[in-house]
Chains A and B, each alone.
Chain A
Amino acid sequence: MPASPCVVPDSISRPYSVHEVDCRVKTHDWVNGEYRRLVLSAPRSVLDCEPGQFFHLLCPQMEGLQPYLRRPMSIYSYDRIRGELSFLYKVAGTGTGTLARLQPGEHLNIVGPLGRGFEIRREWRRPLLVARGVGLATLAPLAGECARLGRQLTAVCSARSPDLVMSTDLFRFFGAEVITVTDAEDNSDVKSLTLLIEGLIRTRGIDAFFTCGSARLLRMLQEIGARHGIGGQVAVEQHMACGIGMCQACVRTFLRDGSTFNLRVCREGPVFDLHEVL
């Protein structure tokens, strides 16, 4: 089915809501063997942000002229009072590789906040967060928001091995019931997870799903959601160039009211309706 061009109208928000700023690195530490947390000292202007939004980072150019393009990174935490913004990331290639070499005191140029974040609908009282790997980075601030709004939260955190499970303390701090599953323990496959989640729907009355990152988890939640009439949201990824909606590099195909169309992940997303993502 060919995708027709984007048909969703899109309004330009109040002027100068997106900023390009140089931020000083406060701390930059390993969280475990694979993930690093980068904490920046950020001006108030960029901290009018929300969970699910992202920033576009100009990773330092170290190897010749590489990296050239910016790298999208979800907000892991933001603190308006302390003037802090942080990211949790995994070194994947050139850009995150040079990012990892940033030292406290050095500066990083960032553009944002960008995109549309999560929306916790009024009727979603008992949400379930399902995250794997670095997807946790995106869902962590959502957990905070759920806590603030008094939602009863459950989080399923999946990883390759127990030492790579992250942010469980943070989720617990936000009052979440945390369940960890790992490949090493053989309980993170789709079949086991489906059983687990269908159990949680019965016992904890789960009424919304939030997830991000993994296509496998997305499909699974779409199927469970379809069976039980449960909606939710997902944060998706796509290769980007501009990050602010100009270039159309980041489109993905979505299904709404029976027809498909392309939307920009950086602009209409990165958070989308769980059941609209193809």
Chain B
Amino acid sequence: MADLRTMIGSLTLKNPIMPASGTFSEELAEVFDLDCLGAHVTKTITRGKRSGNPVPRVCEVNGAMLNSIGIPSKGAPWFLQNTLPFYRDYEAPLVISISANTADEFARFAEEVSVPGVAAIEVNISCPNIEDDGKAFAMKPGATGDVVRRMRSATHLPLWAKLSPNTGEVVEVALAAEEAGADALVTANTMLAMAIDSRTGRARLGNIMGGLSGPALKPITLRMTYQCARAVSIPVIGCGGISTVDDVIEYLVAGAHAVQVGTATFISPSTMPRLVRELDEALDSRGLPSVDALIGTVDVTNEAVAVAEMRDGCHAAR
């Protein structure tokens, strides 16, 4: 039995496996004991009611799916009254994901949901479905910093900033979130994508564009995890395309302190408990005492060798 515990700022998780927002809900308690998870992460909620996007809201592409669910939300009061009490029976810390239209609204909402029973707030500044063409706060360091800073002064709860793979400024956004007071980063949300039915010429999602998730997303979000873990000193939580224990290990090795599992739960609802078990076995079989022993151990010597070879090659050519 390896030590599976991991620290995300002030929070100790009993293992690094938790669900990704929007791919988890109370219903999963009908499949397995939710207390085997490191944490619980709710679907993103907004303060007011929202009905979400037109159907079809999902479609599949090779090795991945696209979704344009949007953020249907029953609103904050409903959430606090009906959803929150459900999680009180569990030991796993509850992380609630929130979204809003302005930095100000984010701050007020954070204050409203800073109630007993909530262990941390995940700041969804990266949903590609809520704003026009995926223009989320997490596209820009300035907007990211604004939101997190305003929230920081509105709540004492840990803030996890969920970043977007759609930005070209990954490291700048990560640093802006850290500097503004985020306690952790989640890398990442879905990637803006599109699918067309070649037969009919029609877009396959009711909302035309949507977010790509599942195995095909992994190389991108793994790269982001690596970039962010190198750049910031707060913990990074990897997310994107995880379905096997090897995927989990890759993220930990890239520098993640924990991981979130999303789409894989749709394919196999018992994925998360399986990953907890298999991670334990994998650490044992490698003779590693703890999850910590894996974190950030990525071997990048190849990179150095390749660069050296190239330089030599250039010399020779000259």
Query: What residues make up the interface of A, taking CB atoms closer than 8 Å to B?
Result: 2-7, 9, 12-20, 58, 64-70, 109, 111, 238-252, 262, 267
Name the A residues within 8 Å of B25 (CB-CB): 245-246
Contact status of A247 and B60, CB under 8 A, knowing A70-B267, A111-B269, A242-B265: no
Chain B, interface residues (CB within 8 Å), range: 35 or more
CB-nearest residue of chain B relative to A67?
B60
B173 CB to nearest chain A CB (Å): 27
A-B contact list, 6 entries, CB within 8 Å: A5-B52, A14-B30, A16-B30, A241-B65, A251-B55, A252-B55
Give the distance to chain A from B197, nearest Cβ to Cβ, in Å: 11
Q: Does any Cβ of A come within 8 Å of B302's Cβ?
A: no
| CB of B55 to closest CB in A, whole Å | 7
Closest to B56 in A: A239
User: Which residue of the partner chain, among A4, A9, A13, A67, contacts B30 with CB atoms under 8 Å?
Assistant: A13
- Are A3 and B51 in touch, CB under 8 angstroms? yes
CA distance A252 to B72 in the complex (A): 13
Closest to B61 in A: A68
Question: Of B31, B61, B65, B267, which contacts A16 at CB under 8 A?
Answer: B31
* A239-B57, A251-B72, A252-B55 known; A69+B65 contact, CB < 8 A: yes
Report which of A5, A19, A68, A239 forms a contact with B55, defined as CB distance below 8 A.
A239
Please give me the residue from chain A that is nearest to B31 by CB atom.
A18
Query: Could you tell me the distance in whole angstroms from the C-beta of A267 to the nearest C-beta in chain B?
Result: 7
> From residue B233, how far is it (CB to closest CB) to chain A in Å?
34
Closest approach, in angstroms, between the C-beta of B62 and any C-beta of chain A? 5
CA distance A243 to B31 in the complex (A): 12
- Closest A residue to B57 by CB, please name it: A249
Q: Which of B30, B75, B267 contacts A58 (CB 8 A)?
A: B267
List the B residue with the shortest CB-CB distance to A64.
B62
Once A5-B73, A66-B62, A69-B266 are accepted as A-B contacts, the answer to whether A248 and B30 lie under 8 Å apart by CB is no
In the complex, A12→B26 CA distance in Å?
A: 7
Are A247 and B58 closer than 8 Å at their CB atoms? yes
Contact residues of B with A, CB < 8 Å? 22-33, 43, 49-52, 55-65, 67, 69, 72-75, 82, 86, 214-215, 263, 265-270
Supposing A2-B51, A12-B86 touch, asked if A68 and B72 sit within 8 A by C-beta, the answer is no
Which residues from A are CB-within-8-Å of B263? 241
The complex places the Cα of A39 from the Cα of B25 at a distance, in Å, of: 32
Instruction: Specify which chain A residues have a CB less than 8 angstroms from the CB of B33 in the assembled complex.
Output: 15
- B214: nearest residue on chain A (CB-CB)? A68
User: In the complex, A69 Cα to B74 Cα: how many Å?
Assistant: 27
How distant is A253 from chain B, measured CB to nearest CB, in Å?
A: 9
C-alpha spacing A14/B29, complex, angstroms = 9
B52 touches A65 (CB 8 A): no
Partner of A248, one of B28, B49, B57, B59: B57
Q: Which residues of the partner chain B approach A65 to less than 8 Å between Cβ atoms? A: 62-63, 215
Residues of B within 8 A of A243 (CB): 266
Instruction: Report if A246-B30 is in contact (Cβ < 8 Å); known contacts: A4-B49, A7-B74, A239-B56.
Output: no
Smallest CB–CB gap between A266 and chain B, Å?
9
User: Min CB distance, A92 to chain B, in Å?
Assistant: 13
Q: For the complex, what is the distance from the CA of A68 to the CA of B217, rounded to whole Å?
A: 14
Establish whether residues B49 and A68, one from each chain, have CB atoms under 8 Å apart when the complex forms: no
Instruction: Tell whether, in the assembled complex, residue B28 and residue A246 are in contact, meaning their CB atoms are under 8 Å apart.
Output: yes
Q: Which residue on chain B has the smallest CB distance to residue A19?
A: B31
Contacts of B49 in A (CB 8 A): 4-5
Contacts of A69 in B (CB 8 A): 58, 60, 65, 266-267
Partner of B266, one of A19, A242, A251: A242
Which chain A residues border B267 with CB–CB below 8 Å? 58, 68-70
What B residues does A2 contact at CB under 8 A?
51
User: Which residues of chain A are within 8 angstroms of B60 by Cβ–Cβ distance?
Assistant: 66-69
The chain A residue with its CB closest to the CB of B51 is A3
What is the minimal beta-carbon distance from B64 to any residue of chain A, in angstroms? 7
Chain B CB within 10 A, most for which of A15, A19, A238, A246: A246
CB-CB under 8 A from A239, the residues of chain B are 55-59
A19 and B33 CA atoms in complex are apart in Å by: 13
- Report chain A residues within 8 Å CB of B73: 5
Which of A67, A244, A262 meets B27, CB within 8 Å? Answer: A244
Instruction: For the complex of A and B, list the 8 residue pairs with the smallest distance between their C-beta atoms, beginning with the closest.
Output: A245-B27, A65-B63, A68-B60, A249-B58, A246-B25, A18-B30, A239-B56, A242-B266
